[in-house]
């Protein structure tokens, strides 16, 4: 009976096995169930570890082209949070002097836009910045935005820290992110 060499590591350090353990492990590795721990590891540990490394993601960031001479713009995105509750505290972009978070709601036919100091991101929830709802107002654009332009936008969260996304500029009055079809 030849001996199987066992090299195991735990937290980066080699693990010493006793003689009996080595025999049991090498016997197990030659059985037809040897693949089982691998499967268990990949199905349980990997999906759990993945989001833990990056518990919050910002996707589908887009903006609208601006007419010449107009110094304000808008940005929209979607925040997907797999982790615990977080708070979007502020935004930065080199394309504008300021990026404010705004809410928009229609009360008795009157649209009301308000600046928000922060936006709550619920645990395991999604927050959409979208037309006629939450949006980012870009103030004092350094140049007009043209369709297909791209610019960076950094979202600063209380826990997740800074998350940078690339914003894709769409048509003047586009209603959705690139790729999505406009409902009309």
Contact 62, 170 (CB under 8 A): yes
d(CA 84, CA 56): 9
Residue 53: other Cβ atoms inside 10 A: 6
Burial 133-155 (b: 16+ CB within 10 A, else e): ebbbbbeebeeebeeebebebbb
Q: Is residue 181 a contact point for other proteins (CB under 8 A)? A: no
Q: Compare residues 12 and 69 and give the one whose CB is closer to other proteins.
A: 69
**Nearer Cβ to other proteins (14/183):** 183
- Per rule CB under 8 A, is residue 117 in the interface with other proteins? no
CB of 62 to other proteins, least distance (A): 13
Site stretch for other proteins (CB under 8 A), options 2-10, 29-37, 133-141, 155-163: 133-141
Structure tokens at 145: 């935005």
70 belongs to the binding site for other proteins (CB under 8 A): yes
Residues 50-69 that bind other proteins (CB under 8 A): 64, 67-69
> According to the binding rule CB under 8 A, does residue 45 interact with other proteins?
no
Among 36, 172, 178, 180, binds other proteins (CB under 8 A): 172
Question: Could you give the CA distance from residue 101 to residue 55 in angstroms, rounded to a whole number?
Answer: 22
Cα(151)–Cα(71) distance, integer angstroms: 16
How many CA atoms, within 13 angstroms, populate the side-chain half-sphere of residue 54?
9
168 binds other proteins (CB under 8 A): no
H/E element holding 53? helix 46-53
Retrieve residue 111's tokens: 């649209």
Question: Rule CB under 8 A: is residue 7 a binding residue for other proteins?
Answer: no
Residue 163 touching other proteins (CB under 8 A): no
Q: Based on the shown chain and the rule CB under 8 A, indicate whether residue 89 belongs to the binding site for other proteins.
A: no
> Whole-number minimum distance, CB 51 to other proteins, in Å?
31
Using CB under 8 A as the criterion, which residues of the chain lie in contact with other proteins when the complex forms?
Answer: 64, 67-70, 72-74, 98, 100, 102, 104, 106, 109-115, 131-132, 135, 137-139, 171-175, 183-184
């Amino acid at each position: 009976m030849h001996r199987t060499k066992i090299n195991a590591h735990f937290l980066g350090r080699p693990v010493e096995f006793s003689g009996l353990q080595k025999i049991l492990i090498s016997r197990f590795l030659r059985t037809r169930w040897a693949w089982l721990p691998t499967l268990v590891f990949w199905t349980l540990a990997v999906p759990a570890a993945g989001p833990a490394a990056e518990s919050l993601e910002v996707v589908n960031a887009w903006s609208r082209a601006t007419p010449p001479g107009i110094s304000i713009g808008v940005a929209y995105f979607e925040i997907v949070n797999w982790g615990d509750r977080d708070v979007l505290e502020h935004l930065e972009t080199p394309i504008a002097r300021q990026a404010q978070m705004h809410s928009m709601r229609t009360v008795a036919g009157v649209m009301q836009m308000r600046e928000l100091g922060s936006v709550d991101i619920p645990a395991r929830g999604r927050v959409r910045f979208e037309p006629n709802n939450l949006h980012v107002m870009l103030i004092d654009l350094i140049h007009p935005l043209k369709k297909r332009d791209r610019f960076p936008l950094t979202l600063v969260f209380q826990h997740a820290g800074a998350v940078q996304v690339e914003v894709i500029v769409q048509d003047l009055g586009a209603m959705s992110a690139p790729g999505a079809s406009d409902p009309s």
